[in-house]
A = this chain, B = another copy of it.
Amino acid sequence: MNKQKAQPVVGFSQHDHRRCVKKALKEADDYCELNQLRFTVVRRRTLGILLESHMAMGAYEVLERLKLEELGSKPPIAYRALGFLLENGFIHRIERLNAFVACSHPGSTHHPAFLICSDCGSVAEAAVSPNSDALSQTAEQSGFQIEHTTIEAEGQCPDCLQQVES
């Protein structure tokens, strides 16, 4: 991650970002109401920050943003909010980056996979069908019961590849 800023995270294409954020927050509102989860100010705003950014953000980066809005200033504030959002599937953790990113298609349970550009830092999420991938097959063969998968690829995104060519 050594070049510019905010790159699209949902695939590598343009989209109406503001509407996308609003929609996602609304869906989270609904989900929390339905499941009697307490979608507090800090939690909602944390999700908002990640949705707006559309980049993977570190916990301390999120915390900086929360500080600006007087929503907390100490690490546990950020980690707790992120923990809540992770548990409820609103965000994912990118292990290779020690960072967090809003889920591109929340609501449905899925095994997310991420494509991380090492040049521009953009992160794209793709759903991998749970039972067709090689990992699940290997697990099944050996009698291992998967509860969570981490599937991440690092490399060059289409945009950055193009820039090298030209």
Binding site for B on A (CB under 8 A): 3-5, 11-12, 95-96, 113, 115, 117-118, 124, 126, 128-129, 132-136, 138-139, 141-158, 161
Is the CB–CB distance between A115 and B144 below 8 Å?
Answer: yes
Interface of A is mostly: mixed
- List 19 extra interface pairs beyond A12-B143, A12-B144, A149-B154, CB under 8 A: A5-B141, A5-B142, A12-B142, A95-B150, A115-B139, A118-B147, A124-B142, A124-B144, A126-B142, A128-B134, A144-B156, A144-B157, A144-B158, A145-B155, A145-B156, A147-B155, A149-B151, A149-B152, A150-B150
Determine the chain B residues whose CB is within 8 A of the CB of A147 once the complex forms. Answer: 118, 154-156
Distance (whole angstroms) from the CB of A62 to the closest CB of chain B:
20
Chosen A-B contacts, 10 in total, with CB atoms closer than 8 Å, are: A5-B142, A12-B143, A95-B95, A115-B139, A126-B135, A126-B138, A143-B158, A146-B153, A149-B152, A149-B154
Most buried by B among A95, A128, A144, A154: A144
Determine the chain B residues whose CB is within 8 A of the CB of A96 once the complex forms. Answer: 95, 150
Is the CB–CB distance between A153 and B139 below 8 Å?
Answer: yes
Determine the chain B residues whose CB is within 8 A of the CB of A4 once the complex forms. Answer: 142
